[in-house]
């Protein structure tokens, strides 16, 4: 996009042959350079592809998490791997909650929505890495590491979307940096509960993100037909 913007003034320069004009044009170009993202936003391709990519990645991660969670919950043993196991969320207070009231969610701005996503995944990624460190079997560690890499990709993707839309990345407040360290007073059982909740929240977040990005995508790409077509093509 930036290239197209700069080419037209150059042609103009050639036509005029005026050095002052050329200077003026260059100045204009320079003047417009900071506005390029804004142009992008309003422009046709815009952030649509990157949102689409993020959406796709979310769906992929959702799919990936399904197999990972199965493996991990089996590792935790019964009753964690029972299908109707639904313990109250007692521990795991530090985990970012994905559940949100529909009205609240609808009233969120795009920026806030993206920021929440970004923050949530940064936290979840950190916890997930901790999970990886304590896993007892090598195979589990491998699949966790693989998922972490994917999640890192999603985080980067969200950051890309935010940058494309011109939103600043949320800066973690000093001291609130999520650090995963196994609480010595934390019993193994509570740790398992935390792990369970981490996976559950991760899943809910991925669902929510898919919804978020879908909404964002619709907003950015008016032709809805194209969007649905793509969705179908990528339906996981």
Partner 1 sequence: MFAMRADSILRAALLPARAPRAGQAFGEDLHRLGRFTLPGSSMTFRDWPRAGTLCGSTTLGLGPRARPRTSDSQERPRGRAAGARGPALGWRRGRAGRGRWGGACGGRGRAGAAAPPAERRAGAAPARRSPGQSVSAVAVALTVACGRLWRRRRLPGLAEVSGPPLACGRVEQPRTGTRRRDGAAEAAACARSPSSSPPAPGRLRTPGSPRAAAERTAGDGEIAARERPADCIARVMDFTLCLTQRSRMVDSKRMRMTSNFQWPLLTFILLYLMNQVNSQKKGAPHDLKCITNNLQVWDCSWKAPSGAGHGTFYEVCIENGSYSCYPSEKTNIKIPALSPGDHEVVISPLRDFGSSISKFILSEKNVSLIPDTPEILNLSADFPTSTLHLKWSDRGSVLPRHSNVIWEIKILRKKNMEIVKSVTHNTTLNGKDTVHHWSWTSDMPLECATHYVGIRCYVDDTHFSGHKEWSDWSQLKNVSWSPDSQTKVFPQDKVILVGSDVIVCCVTRDNVSSAQIGLTKCPLIHLDGKNVAIKIHNISVSASSGTNVVFTTEDNIYGTVLFAGYPPDIPQKLNCETYDLKEIVCSWNPGRPTALVGPRVTSYTLFESFSGKNVRFKRTEASTNESHQLFFQMLPNQEIYNFTLNAHNPLGQSESMILVNITEKVYPHSPTSVKVKDVNSTAVTLSWRLPGNFAKIKFLCQIEINKTNSIQELRNVTIKGVENSSYLVAVDKLNPYTIYTFRIRCSTETFWKWSKWSNEKQYLTTEAIPSKGPDTWREWSSDGKNLIIYWKPLPVNEANGKILSYNVSCSSDEETQSLSEIPDPQHKAELQLDKNDYIISVVAKNSVGSSPPSKIASMEIPNDDLKIEQAVGMGNGIPLTWNYDPNMTCDYVIKWCNSSRSEPCLMDWKKVPSNSTATVIESDQFRPGVRYHFFLYGCRNQGYQLLRSIIGYIEELAPIVAPNFTVEDTSADSILVKWEDIPVEELRGFLRGYLFYFEKGERDTSKMRSLESGRSDVKVKNITDISQKTLRIADLQGKTSYHLVLRAYTDGGMGPEKSMFVVTKENSVGLIIAILIPVAVAIIVGVVTSILCYRKREWIKETFYPDIPNPENCKALQFQKSVCQGNSTLKTLEMNPCTPNSVEVLETRSIVPKIEDTEIISPVAEHLEDSSDAEPENHVVVSYCPPVIEEEIANPGLDEGGGTSQVIYIDIQSMYQPQAKPEEEQENDAVGGAGYKPQMHLPVTSTVEDLAADDDLEKTAGYRPQANVNTWNLVSPDSPRSTDSNSEIVSFGSPCSINSRQFLIPPKDEDSPKSNGGGWSFTNFFQNKPND
Q: Does 134 bind partner 1 (CB under 8 A)?
A: yes
Let me know: does 227 contact 217? Beta carbons within 8 Å.
yes
Binding of partner 1 at residue 187 (CB under 8 A)? yes
Of the residues 84, 93, 103, 188, which one makes contact with partner 1 according to CB under 8 A: 188
Q: Provide, rounded to whole angstroms, the least separation between the CB of residue 166 and partner 1.
A: 46
How many residues of this chain interact with partner 1, rule: CB under 8 A?
18
184 binds partner 1 (CB under 8 A): no
**Spatial distance between the Cα atoms of 235 and 132, rounded to a whole number of angstroms:** 29
Q: What does the H/E/C string look like for 120-162?
A: HHHHHHHHHHHHHHHCCCHHHHHHHHHHHHHHHHHHHHHHHHH
Which residues 6+ apart lie within 8 Å of 182 measured at CB?
A: 130, 134, 191
Eight-class DSSP state of 33: G
DSSP class of residue 35 equals G
Q: Which of residues 205-234 bind partner 1 (CB under 8 A)?
A: none
C-beta neighbour count of 102 within 10 angstroms: 7
Q: Are 134 and 81 in contact (CB under 8 A)?
A: no
Tell me which residue of 24, 1, 188, 105 sits closest to 10, measured CA to CA.
24
* CB of residue 69 to partner 1, shortest distance in Å: 14
Q: Which range of residues in 25-33, 100-108, 130-138, 222-230 is near partner 1 by CB under 8 A?
A: 130-138
For partner 1, what does the binding mask look like between residues 85 and 104, x meaning CB under 8 A?
A: --xx-x--------------
| Chain residues 25-84 in contact with partner 1, contact rule CB under 8 A | 75-80, 82
Considering the complex, what minimum distance in angstroms separates the CB of residue 100 from partner 1? 23
Our CB check for partner 1 shows the closer of 56 and 195 to be 195
List residues binding partner 1 (CB under 8 A): 75-80, 82, 87-88, 90, 134, 136-138, 187-189, 192
């Amino acid at each position: 996009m930036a290239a197209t913007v700069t080419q037209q003034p150059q042609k103009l320069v050639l036509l005029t042959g005026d050095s002052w004009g050329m200077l003026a044009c260059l100045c204009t170009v320079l003047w417009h350079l900071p506005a390029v993202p804004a142009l992008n936003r309003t422009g046709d391709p815009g952030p649509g592809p990157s949102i689409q990519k993020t959406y796709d990645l979310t769906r992929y991660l959702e799919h990936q998490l399904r197999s990972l969670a199965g493996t991990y919950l089996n590792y935790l043993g019964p009753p964690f791997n029972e299908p109707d196991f639904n313990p109250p969320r007692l521990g795991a207070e530090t985990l970012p909650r994905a559940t949100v009231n529909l009205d609240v969610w609808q009233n969120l701005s795009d920026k806030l929505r993206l920021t929440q996503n970004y923050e949530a995944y940064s936290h979840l990624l950190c916890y997930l890495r901790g999970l990886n460190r304590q896993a007892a079997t090598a195979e589990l560690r491998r699949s966790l590491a693989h998922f972490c890499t994917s999640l890192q990709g999603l985080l980067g993707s969200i950051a890309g979307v935010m940058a494309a839309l011109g939103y600043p990345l949320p800066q973690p407040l000093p001291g609130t940096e999520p650090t995963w360290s196994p609480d010595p007073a934390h019993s193994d059982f509570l740790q398992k509960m935390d792990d369970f909740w981490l996976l559950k929240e991760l899943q809910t977040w991925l669902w929510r993100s898919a919804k978020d990005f879908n909404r964002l995508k619709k907003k950015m790409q008016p032709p809805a037909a194209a969007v649905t077509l793509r969705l179908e093509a990528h339906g996981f």
